[in-house]
Amino acid sequence: MSADAWWKNGIVYQVYPRSFQDSDGDGIGDLRGIQKRLDYLVELGVDAVWISPIYPSPMADFGYDISDYCDIDPRFGTLDDFDALPAECRARGLKLVLDFVPNHTSDQHPWFLQSRAPRENPKRDWYLWRDPAPDGGPPTNWISNFGGPAWTFDEATGQYYAHSFLKEQPDLNWRNPEVREAMYEVLRFWLRRGVDGFRVDVLYHLVKDRLFRNNPPNPAFKPGQDPSHRLLPLYTTDRPEMQDIVVEMRRVVDAFSSEDSARVLIGELHLPLERLMAYYGRTPEGMLEGVQLPFNFQLIAAPWHAAEIDRIVRNYEAALPHGAAPNWVLGNHDKPRIASRVGQERARLAAMLLLTLRGTPTLYYGDEIGMADVPIPPAEVQDPFEKNAPGLGLGRDPQRTPMQWSRAPAAGFTQGRPWLRLADDWATRNVELQRGDPDSMLSLYQRLIALRRNEPALHEGRHEQLDAGPDVLAYARSAGTRRLVVLLNFAETEMTVHADLLPTEVVVVASTLAGRSGAVQGELVLQPLEGVVVAQ
């Protein structure tokens, strides 16, 4: 097995640590809780666990405002608790991926406290400071992703500092070589402790325009949309200098790879397809020296129609540089859950789609049992995004609620009071009840993951898009002489797949409906919203 097979052929599982498992009764998930549930991840069949931020933080943005990159927040445990985790993962054949948040720190980070001191402080240039505009207002028209201006005035020093998100999250100056080296040393700190890779938060934000030009208006913006989309982020994201930084970051991580296991960088990049591909870092000689997995979020925003998904898959496959590893994502901590976006039955179809497409799938905790978004009353809202832009449905609390483990109090998540309310269905939708139930979402995920692991055609094979009509998404996966065809019926009626697409006889090796298997001759009738994998 190649050193990079674990991330090229395997499955990544995202854990939002506050909500996965609490071990001490304070209602907040923690590292010992994650360790307690590692056997569940093995049972599910995933290959790597990615943990969202666990570093010391004032929690203005729930861990994405970091005050110390090289320690563990007491809410989640200690550095000793963390050090036990890589070994426990290795003992179970799991890899460990951490969140790396390089665009900004907390305003309580020692670096920023020094930068905010007199202007002569050596750390001043570690952040983005500018004089006011001639009218005394912000230096540019840049908008925070959480609403309002991306600049906050500092009375003590008479300048504004930039923040792409909350004012408590000042942006680092990645044009400063000292900043880059300090952040690369953060990567080395965790790599020395046994981490296998990083998901890099908002990677495309790191460099801002050298001339601090205003962003142009977005002609497609309409009232009621996310206010941060009012301008096109031309001068605040995806700047040309980013490519050199990505290469530097990759070299730091590659230095810790071995013949047995390659380290990986996964980039959070909300970019058009052409720009997304640039982050693979293709050289004139055809080498790929950038991020190994620039996150492909297209399924999260896609209209749930066969023709649209077919278009997305074809375009993505065609755009990939030679040798690049594809990847697919259905959900994460920032976006509504798949079961809420498309419904429970279609979420079963989505599971088959995710786990049979070519490339690395990423699962979001709880999707494997069909967890849905949980309405959070205004008085209980925690997310600063919702507080800054109320009433627009942008809050992220609904998809961050505690994992539903069992029928025990608080769904087995905690012995205390959960930090966010549970879903109303926690007593009937949980891991305990779905184990062993062949009709359950969990059993479907386990079957599909096992099939993917056992079939080289699925985890490393070639991909061929097929045409089965406007309501059926069809594609073939093959390795050697083994050829599997995936048929996904997006219609709420029966659909017949004719013999011109399939040979005379096929064998159903997987279905979104429990109990369907065996040989089929002639036409194949798909039930409403059914997906099947057939062997020819």
Active site residues: 201, 268
Contact, 280 vs 288, CB < 8 A?
A: yes
What is the β-pairing status of strands 472-479 and 462-467?
Answer: antiparallel
Sign of CA dihedral 489, 492, 494, 496: negative
Contact, 148 vs 388, CB < 8 A?
A: yes
CA distance 30 to 53: 11
CA distance 66 to 55: 6
Which residues are registered as beta bridge partners of 535? 484, 507
Which residues are registered as beta bridge partners of 529? none
* Residue type present at position 447: R
Q: Outline where 279-305 has alpha helix (H).
A: 298-301
Contact, 39 vs 32, CB < 8 A?
A: no
The SS3 assignment for 343 reads coil
The SS3 assignment for 348 reads helix
The SS3 assignment for 14 reads strand
Which strands form 264-267's sheet, in the order they lie side by side? Answer: 293-294, 264-267, 197-200, 95-100, 48-51, 12-15, 360-364, 327-329
